[in-house]
Amino acid sequence: MAKLNLEELVARATQSKADKFQVRMVEIDREGNTIQATKKDLRTVSKILDMETETTNDRFQAEMKLVYDHCPVLHEKELQAAYGCVEPLDAVEKVFDSNMGLIEKAAKEILDMYGLAEEDGTKNPVDDVKN
pLDDT tens per residue across span 107-121: 999 999 888 876 554
In this model, does residue 127 exceed pLDDT 70? no
- Determine how β-strand 34-38 pairs with β-strand 23-27: antiparallel
Does 49 or 81 have the greater pLDDT score?
A: 81
pTM here? 0.75
- The yes or no reply on domain 23-130 and CATH 3.30.2220.30 is yes
In this model, does residue 51 exceed pLDDT 70? yes
94 pLDDT band (50/70/90 cuts)? very high
